[in-house]
Chain A
Amino acid sequence: MRYAPPLIRHSLAATLLLGGIFFTAPWPSLQGVFHAFLVLGLAPQASNLLLAALWAAAGGWILEGTLRLYPVVGGTPWADITLVVLAATLARRWPPDRLWIRWAQLAALTALHALAVHGAVRLACGPHPWGTGWAWALASVPLWGTLIHHFQKRPSWR
């Protein structure tokens, strides 16, 4: 069976998700889903940790740039880099072979990601509304978690 190289497939999928974050700016809830999908689901599947961190940071920067909500930017990409390193480490140490394990990991990471983003943004620009993006991302974990599970069961990063 012939498949596209993992790097190309991964890059195409990450680019699509970046476009999704960019073009769903009018709907922050949907944007939150794309953001979590990229940072917690797809970016940790990158071929190396640096690439994963760069994809996650790009997602955070695009989200903050299109959200036009925070007076000082940078908190979201910082939290994204933190969480993508954590997610990649989790995937390396305890690779989720079963779907429900992956769902559980992603749900926990999503909750942690929401807290980290909120904390980092609060540190950068002060108090701000929570919004509902994190809830939509958490609720949609079975959807994009399943996609990620079938996209690449085992990360190639070591």
Chain B
Amino acid sequence: MKAAGWGWSARDLMRWTVLALWLGHGVWVVLGRGTGTALRRSLDLFTGPSQWVSMRWEGWKVARARRISDLAQAQSEIERLRWELEALRVQQAREAPERSEAREATRLLGLKPMVGLDLRAARIVVNNRKAPFSGMVIEPALGPSLLPDQGVIAAEGVVGRIWSASPQQASVLPLDAYNASTGVMLARSRATGVLQGTGPGRAEIRYISSQEVVQVGEAVFTSGLDRVFPRGLLVGHVVQVWTRGSELGVEVGLAAPLDRLHLVFVLPAEPPLEIEPPGQGSAKPDPARSGKR
């Protein structure tokens, strides 16, 4: 048999090397020497970078998914809050008249014990007093029918008087009507006069002597002499004073916001000249100390 291939040429040396490699592996396996730890560690050196890249990649994906989830939640939250805000705005607009009326009722309820009279609440159902020959229409609470010349007041001040009445409704002649006359007095000088309407929210006091000293800003109260209002109810404040022959011209800004009123009190017919302040028996009220009276 020819022994070619297993000599010492370069090709034969290669074959010897393969044989040595095979035998070395065989001996290694038979002796059971390799635990694989060093091999695995060396392979970990190669897998480390790819594992680091993989970790970064997975971390980026998780963070991105979380950001997307958070963004979606935030957007849905914003949308929900937007709807809630819109609903609250609608509700607020719907309840605004009721709240305004409730605030007014609260002020009126505070006024009632201070006046000390049997007041009767009424709701203003029509207010077109700026139109020619018009006024305010009120609807009183249940009770006997109203009578003409009953006084009408609000928490801020005097409103006017009943002009005509029916069992369910009554028309009111406001203080600023041209044909309205009300007995008033000035707070400092105690000079009395007659208040006549001159325009929306304005009125003028007649029959004040030019000898009187009247200051702008001075409070004006009812005098009680017309037997419609008791003495001491706030009417308004002096806004302008001028001399007109033998008398003073005194222009008054009315205290009651006649355009914004919803609830009023109706005074009893022919009230007493003086009203008793709460807790003071028959002592006279001091109008200068009370802004409301």
With an 8 A cutoff between CB atoms, is B29 at the interface?
A: yes
With an 8 A cutoff between CB atoms, is B17 at the interface?
A: yes
Complex interface: chain B residues within 8 A of A62 (CB): 43
Interface segment out of the listed A2-10, A33-41, A64-72:
A64-72
Complex interface: chain B residues within 8 A of A85 (CB): 18, 22
Complex interface: chain A residues within 8 A of B29 (CB): 72, 74-75, 78, 120, 123-124
Complex interface: chain B residues within 8 A of A71 (CB): 35-36
In the complex, the chain A residue whose C-beta lies closest to that of B18 is A53
Whether A72 touches B34, Cβ cut-off 8 Å, given contacts A66-B43, A78-B29, is yes
* Total count of chain A residues near the partner, CB < 8 A: 29
With an 8 A cutoff between CB atoms, is B89 at the interface?
A: no
Report the bound CA distance from A123 to B28 in whole Å.
Answer: 11
Closest 5 CB pairs of A and B: A78-B25, A73-B36, A65-B43, A124-B29, A65-B39
In the complex, which of the residues A23, A65, A72, A81 contacts B25, with contact meaning CB atoms closer than 8 Å? A81
In the complex, which of the residues A49, A65, A78 contacts B14, with contact meaning CB atoms closer than 8 Å? A49
User: Which residues of B31-53 are within 8 A (CB) of A?
Assistant: 32-36, 39-40, 42-43, 46-47, 50
A81→B18 contact, CB < 8 A: yes
B46→A22 contact, CB < 8 A: yes
B39→A72 contact, CB < 8 A: no
In the complex, the chain B residue whose C-beta lies closest to that of A25 is B47
Report the bound CA distance from A73 to B39 in whole Å.
Answer: 9
Nearest Cβ in chain A — how far from B21, in angstroms? 6
A70→B22 contact, CB < 8 A: no
With an 8 A cutoff between CB atoms, is B4 at the interface?
A: no
Complex interface: chain B residues within 8 A of A65 (CB): 36, 39-40, 42-43
Report the bound CA distance from A50 to B18 in whole Å.
Answer: 6
Whether A49 touches B15, Cβ cut-off 8 Å, given contacts A78-B25, A78-B29, is yes
Interface centre among A71, A74, A123, by most B CB within 10 Å?
A74
B189-228 interface code vs A (CB 8 A; 1 in, 0 out): 0000000000000000000000000000000000000000
Complex interface: chain A residues within 8 A of B21 (CB): 50, 53-54, 57, 81
Complex interface: chain B residues within 8 A of A136 (CB): none
User: Which residues of A36-94 are within 8 A (CB) of B?
Assistant: 48-50, 53-54, 57, 61-62, 64-66, 68, 70-75, 77-78, 81-82, 85
User: Which residues of A11-26 are within 8 A (CB) of B?
Assistant: 22-23
Complex interface: chain B residues within 8 A of A125 (CB): 32
Nearest Cβ in chain A — how far from B14, in angstroms? 5
Report the bound CA distance from A77 to B28 in whole Å.
Answer: 11
* 13 CB < 8 A contacts A-B: A22-B47, A49-B18, A53-B21, A57-B25, A64-B36, A64-B39, A65-B39, A71-B36, A77-B25, A78-B26, A81-B25, A124-B34, A125-B32
With an 8 A cutoff between CB atoms, is B142 at the interface?
A: no
In the complex, which of the residues B30, B39, B40, B43 contacts A123, with contact meaning CB atoms closer than 8 Å? B30
Report the bound CA distance from A111 to B39 in whole Å.
Answer: 27
A72→B32 contact, CB < 8 A: yes
In the complex, the chain B residue whose C-beta lies closest to that of A121 is B29
Complex interface: chain A residues within 8 A of B40 (CB): 65, 68
Complex interface: chain B residues within 8 A of A73 (CB): 34-36, 39
